[in-house]
Structure 1
């Protein structure tokens, strides 16, 4: 048995691949273009493992996707590959339209052709699992109920709009063609191997380097936080038991303001790697808010709990401690990820 994973060298994808192979002997064919956020070093522990077949390539390459499906005959395609950084989508939306919309369309069409040619048993077993985001639902007010799976889509950034479009394509390919799809919309992930342009790893890396900790606006934007291996276990549960055509929201039941996240990271670093110069919170620097910054996200994950019995194993307190410790234990990974292009991006985005 085999599954095909797209974007399996990125942050969430690589954690999913590692988790999958820790739980199963089922082969993973891993298709990743290795853009700036894709890092094969995340998968170094699988070196020489015959269960992991890595292919560098673009999900928009229809001929390549067709070949991989025909050659490996997967029972599921798990689609992580995406451009995912909101700031980058504001400064350069074109890549998001191509990867998130055209790429998903290419995978759906290739999967539809492949699935149509399977025998009845294999057709019934096949799943196309689309990994999406809570950002498609827009922004919540302070007292609004959390996002449910029936919440109206109101994307507010080029990134979230491109993911919303991909969600609609997946739904349409199921209702029009019968392709057996599953969609999960997750909250903000954090954990090992997170590229240090996102909030939590950026705060850790900058603090350790004595650099400013840039916080947008007043820092009161609220997000729900999900430890990345909890997300991986949720996807396994949905693939195994989710109802075809359904959407499942995956969240960590951890709503926190960005400034509280930053202060939590600082406090952990004060404990685990104290700085003689003083508390890391001295480095917090408020910067101009980004355009269209959504104020609050919150996930109602009761459906996946009710139907599939899934709940996150980590609290935020346990997950963030593991995350900070991982970055402290892996300075070489951080150093190699911080290429000149990455430093240029941080400088461009947040200022000197």
Structure 2
């Protein structure tokens, strides 16, 4: 299979590429990434020598570049996205451009080149917030942030290409990811790196917001299952099964680095902050055999150790994040 991976230099995309090429170094994988502030080509250094690997720098909103890189591909896994909620609140334009227009450009090219499968990688945030229970794949989309609205729009657009044009589209929606190589503006690496430097960390509101946590390697296993065996036109949830309040998560991170609660600063709550996310992922478990294998306690401890040992990776990126 000749596979195009957009956003493959990012946190989740690079894990997916490393996973594929570790299993089969001869696999033909083209990474297409604009290397904006959160894209790190060094994330792919461990597999850059593989004979089937190719990196192309380009923008998903550039029809010419997309058309060139799409030619000859058998499948697309589309990770490329603007994904930071706070940035989307400050300015929605880049999110609409990349997440909606970029997806449309890719879909048009995939249709034109008769690509066999298009995997749209999305998020649980498209559903808004849920007080009790868990969302199924049939739940209506009610996003509350510009970021989640742009992802919901991209999902609907992708599914429309299946229904209108017959393009083989599948959509995945996942819970919050954590693990190595995550850009340090996201909550887990932000807290770890600041605590390691003796700094304070910001906790929104009273910290009661609840998220389900999933190790990035488990997420990528789920995406691979959907790529290979998912049904065209379907949506699949990929969950972790570990729901934690932000207050509880903060406590676990403080314990992991030996810090006290005096390092936590309460900050005003985020606008439109969703209280709770929860996915029902029984569909992918029953139909495709998905099961997360990384226990949260072990995965979090390994993640803290990774950031402790890779200052050379995150220190320049934290500075880049603050300037972006």
TM over 0.5: yes
Q: Does 1:151 align with 2:150?
A: no
Are residues 1:245 and 2:225 paired? no
The answer for the alignment partner of 1:50 in structure 2 is: 51
Question: Equivalent residues in 2 for 1:1-352 (5 A)?
Answer: 1-24=1-24, 25-70=26-71, 73-115=72-114, 126-141=116-131, 144-270=132-258, 279-339=259-319, 341-344=320-323
Tell whether the 8 Å contact from 1:252 to 1:315 is kept in structure 2 after alignment: no
Q: How big is each residue's C-alpha offset from its partner over 1:233-276, in whole Å with a ceiling of 9 and x where there is no partner?
A: 10111111111110000010111001111110111112xxxxxx
In structure 2, C-alpha distance between the alignment counterparts of 1:190 and 1:201, rounded to whole Å: 8
Please state how far the C-alpha of 1:285 moved relative to its aligned partner. Answer: 0.9
On the 8 A contact 1:207/1:280 being kept in 2, the answer is: no
For 2:289 and 2:47, how far apart are their aligned partners in 1?
Answer: 30
Q: Secondary structure at the match of 2:51?
A: coil
Normalised by the length of structure 1, the TM-score is 0.90
- The answer on whether the counterparts of 1:8 and 1:32 sit within 8 Å (CA) in structure 2 is yes
CA RMSD of aligned residues (A): 1.1
Aligned length: 323
Of the two, which has the highest radius of gyration?
1
| Whole-Å separation in 2 of the counterparts to 1:322 and 1:216 | 25
List gaps (5 residues or longer) in structure 2: none
What 5-or-longer segments of structure 1 have no aligned partner?
116-122, 271-278, 346-352
Compute the displacement of 1:41 (Å).
1.3
Partner Cα separation in structure 2 for residue 228 and residue 268 of structure 1: 19
SS of residue matched to 1:130? strand
* Cα deviation code 1:186-228 (max 9, x no counterpart): 1111100011111100000110111111000001100011100
Cα–Cα, structure 1 residues 55 and 255, in superposed 2: closer, same or farther, change >3 Å? same
Cα distance in 1 for partners of 2:106, 2:239 equals: 26
CA distance in 1, matches of 2:68, 2:304: 41
Shift of 1:46: 2.1
TM-score, normalization: structure 2?
0.97
